[in-house]
Amino acid sequence: MSGTSGGRKRGARSVIPPAEWLVAALGLCVVLATFGILLHSAVTSERGAPALTVRVDSVVPGAPGTRHVMFTVLNEGGTTAMDVQVNANVGASGAIDTRTLSFDFLPPKSARRGVLVVAGDVDEGQVKLRVSAYRE
């Protein structure tokens, strides 16, 4: 063995090809842009209480004698809501059925969908949904 490794002589300087410099520069731009976006988001984000709303999307037939109430709960606020409780009053004025569904968490600017199964023949007009509680 002659004292060289990999076919290079000792003390020889390797030349970095221009394509490698270009890829390194693009990588640096991506990293700097990512840090810039994160910094901008941290400085300008709105930090308010969760702003929760809930709406009925549809009521569809389920198993015989039941309906599925499809709904969406939205958090348009600036912080996460945890243990979100959605209450539903379903039915005509004479026979009100109450249901509750909970969501573990609802991040800011996000939505979650849920389904409540109710007995009887109900339509969207007979479903009243509201958010009853959450933790910050």
* Residue ranges per structural domain of the chain: 15-44, 52-135
DSSP SS3 for 48: coil
Residue 3: predicted pLDDT: 52
Rounded to two decimals, the pTM is 0.66
DSSP, collapsed to helix, strand or coil, labels residue 42 as helix
User: 123 or 107: which carries more pLDDT confidence?
Assistant: 107
> Who contacts 61 (Cβ-Cβ below 8 Å, separation ≥6)?
67, 68
Please give the CATH number for the structural domain made up of 52-135: 2.60.40.1620
Model pLDDT for residues 69-97, shown as the tens digit of each residue: 999 999 998 889 999 999 988 876 667 78
Percent of the chain clearing pLDDT 70 (strictly above): 87
Helices (H), 14-91: 18-44
Picking from 20, 113, 36, the residue whose alpha carbon sits closest to that of residue 72 is 113
DSSP 8-state secondary structure symbol assigned to residue 24: H
pLDDT score recorded for residue 41? 79
pLDDT digits (tens, 9 = 90+) for 98-116: 889 999 999 998 999 999 9
